[in-house]
């Protein structure tokens, strides 16, 4: 999975944004240029297989982060497992 960092113009309601792949050799230089142009680092790093997936996570505005947090909790994981199992059993009937 690639790591993407998002940058947003202040007071744009997350509409005017761009992102950088953190594995890119020019990442630090590009980041400095964006910061100098008035962009601010927005949110946390997003892990995604493609840039389109990263943008979708960014646009979800914390829903992705909350899903990741919930899935990292043992109790939530067990509840999700039980619900998925129940739904599978119901659909097989």
pLDDT value at residue 79? 83
pLDDT value at residue 28? 96
pLDDT value at residue 63? 61
Structure token digits, residue 56? 């979708």
Q: 0.85 exceeded by the pTM?
A: no
pLDDT in tens, 19-70: 999 999 999 999 999 999 999 998 888 889 999 999 888 888 766 556 667 6
pLDDT in tens, 41-52: 988 888 899 999
């Amino acid at each position: 999975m690639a790591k993407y960092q998002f940058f947003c113009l202040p007071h744009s309601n997350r509409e005017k944004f761009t992102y950088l792949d953190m594995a890119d050799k020019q990442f630090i230089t590009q980041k400095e240029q964006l910061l100098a142009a008035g962009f601010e680092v927005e949110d946390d790093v997003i892990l995604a297989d493609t840039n389109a997936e990263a943008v979708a996570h960014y646009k979800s505005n914390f829903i992705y982060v909350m899903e990741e947090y919930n899935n990292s909790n043992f109790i939530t994981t067990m509840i999700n497992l039980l619900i998925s199992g129940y739904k599978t059993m119901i659909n097989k009937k």
